[in-house]
Structure 1
Amino acid sequence: MAIVLGIETSCDETGVGIVADGRLLGAALSSSMDEHARFGGVVPEIAARAHLEAMVPCVSTAFERAGIAPSDVDAIAVTSGPGLATALQTGLAAAKAYALAWNKPLYGVHHLAGHVAADTLEHGPLPPRSIALIVSGGHTSLLLLSDLARDPIVHLGDTRDDAAGEAFDKVARILGLPYPGGPAIDRAARDGDPTAFPFPRAMLDSGFDFSFSGLKSAVARHVGQGGPAVPDVAASFQEAVVDVLTRKAVRSCREHGVDTLVVVGGVAANRRLRALAAERCAEAGITLRIPAPSLCTDNGAMIAAVGDLLIAAGAEPSRLDLSADPSAPLTRAALT
């Protein structure tokens, strides 16, 4: 049984997790979100500085919670892409330092594969075939999965413009809600009517790609006309997003003969998305897997989980000259 230390610094959260044999032993998380809020989005240099300051305390806390020492660790896994360049470089530098100091192998991990692997920490190994809906601030994708550690990842559909989480942030700004937009809209929508405004559902019945920029523009035009209640707009916008996401995800399962849907990424913490996905999967006889909200947002446990799977699959470690790749395409879980 290998014990893997995972480090995640792709955006504004410094995540450290320790995983062994598919079990989370300990984790720590530090967010610099409050420092970015006044800018309405993440400032890369502020994020990188925050990672630098939080790294050692987070590692120490993760070890303390796991009840183990650095000498017990067998490998280091780290997000090497995609993400903000300076943020990735900070985490990668730390991971290389630990790997060299402790004489342990290093595994570069794709951030989005980490989101998928996070679900295994709660629900166990993935089935031989599944479909993953990844919904985050920078990505919205439907993926056909087999063995996450061994096999290529097949893209069924991706966003053609704004990611769902990006649309949440932009619409929140239009409505005068705070950053980050996802949780703010989720809260506001609880007091609103999701049928109040018939916002468009782009590309609902065509293929598996997504588009949310038109929806964002429709909300902006509507708000610009004046007078709408913020909760009703938030609820109607949210419903338009989750309607498209869940319809396409369920249809992709049916068309590819897959009976397990995994929904992951930061937006997977959204209350309405979780409820509607559960409702539609139950109607279609599809097993739905969504991890707890704490495992949906960026965290080190998900990166350690990928490292754990790679080691179990006999994957070769990455070289110590591994570079950060801010725009790494998702074709495999490992980045070497």
Structure 2
Amino acid sequence: MKKKNLIILGIDTSCDDTCAAIINNNTVLSNIVRTQKIHQKFGGVVPELAASLHLQHIVSVVNNAILKAKIKNNAINAIAFTNFPGLIGSLLVGSAFAKSLAMCWQIPLISVNHIQAHILAHFIKGVHSTPPNFPFISLSISGGHTNIIKVKDFLEIKILGSSNDISLGNLFDNMAKRLGFKYPGGRIIDKYAQLGNSKTFFFNKPKAKKLNFSFSGLQTNFLYFLKKKIKKNSKFISQNINDICASFQETVFEILFDKLNQTVKKTGIKNIVFSGGISSNLGLKKFFSKKSLENNWKTFFPQLEFSSDNAAMIALVGKLKYERNLFDKFSIKP
């Protein structure tokens, strides 16, 4: 179903950010994110608290998105919302609100795969001068997932590999906590890593079959390493924080590269698209920019605004599904 001006309201409540956005075709008119900073004092997201705060914030966040977009409610053609994956309590809030609004306004309801939306954020107008060509390989890395995905077309994806244990984002947060950083700690590790020597310390690179990942072994090795060093020198972390962070990140990046290199050899696809919160990591961008030149890959990184959780990417997938008449019934469950 083609429209000259297809306006979609996107809603994302997959984790602890309450997000709403309005797009007109591929152009973002507004993109509002309300972050729940209270989780910092708990060292991680508390699911029940996240759901409760979504309930408090969702009306104002959606209203602000509409106001900033400078449109009237009756201009919205459909409502897209994150249906999976995510924290079930948080998803229930977003889905119930989206259903109620769509029913009230008598417009179509569209469910969206959160991971797929992260990948397709690269097609939001202005993210790239030239978007990636199909097919491409997506490395989807965030606090909730670590996947290698083959993307054949906008709505045709296939997971080739994933983590057998913890996600990469979970690994970063656990390591950051051990180093004394506040949650979320991934960006703090990256900040210190830019000042360090990545060849100072060496950590084990756990092996996983096929194109899958395993990070629990690296986590255990890192913790034992710190315990041993601190036993000899109580100030080891503070005296070596830059090199510790740089060496840790380098190990992670090498693990990711090894699996991506296997994927390229297996599929013959050299277009590599990074998505998810960790794709904003500065060290990751530097590492893979160098590797792409050495291996003749073409790599794509999203803008910071669209790497972390947001609703613009949800609205974009909603627009793509609207054009294909892929609507959902109000009985759909997250």
- Give the structure-2-normalised TM-score: 0.91
The answer to whether the 8 Å contact 2:194/2:283 transfers is no
Matches within 5 A, 1:122-141: 122-123=127-128, 126-141=132-147
C-alpha offsets along residues 231-264 of structure 1, whole Å, 9 cap, x if unaligned?
Answer: 2222111111112113322441243121311100
Matches within 5 A, 1:158-169: 158-169=162-173
**Alignment equivalent of 1:243, drawn from 238, 254, 265:** 254
Counterpart for residue 189 of structure 1: 193
Counterpart for residue 327 of structure 2: 317
The answer to whether the 8 Å contact 1:44/1:86 transfers is yes
Look up the equivalent residue of 2:135 and give its one-letter code.
Answer: R
Counterpart for residue 210 of structure 2: 207
Look up the equivalent residue of 1:46 and give its one-letter code.
Answer: L
What is the root-mean-square deviation of aligned Cα atoms in Å?
A: 1.5
Offset, 1:126: 4.5
**Alignment equivalent of 1:155, drawn from 134, 149, 159:** 159
Offset, 1:63: 1.6
Counterpart for residue 24 of structure 2: 20
Counting matched residue pairs gives 319
The answer to whether the 8 Å contact 1:192/1:234 transfers is yes
Matches within 5 A, 1:1-336: 1=3, 2-32=6-36, 34-121=37-124, 122-123=127-128, 126-149=132-155, 151=156, 153-203=157-207, 207-225=210-228, 226=230, 227=233, 228=236, 229-312=240-323, 314-324=324-334
Greater Rg over alpha carbons, structure: 2
Structure 1 vs Structure 2: percent identity of aligned residues?
A: 34
Q: Identify unmatched segments of 5+ residues in structure 1.
A: 325-336
The answer to whether the 8 Å contact 1:107/1:318 transfers is yes
The alignment partner of 1:193 has SS state of: coil
Offset, 1:194: 1.2
Look up the equivalent residue of 1:213 and give its one-letter code.
Answer: S
The answer to whether the 8 Å contact 1:76/1:104 transfers is yes
Whole-angstrom CA distance in 1 between matches of 2:304 and 2:261:
21
Look up the equivalent residue of 2:115 and give its one-letter code.
Answer: L
The alignment partner of 2:140 has SS state of: strand
Q: Identify unmatched segments of 5+ residues in structure 2.
A: none
Whole-angstrom CA distance in 2 between matches of 1:35 and 1:78:
24
The answer to whether the 8 Å contact 2:148/2:211 transfers is yes
Deviates more, 1:7-16 or 1:65-74: 65-74
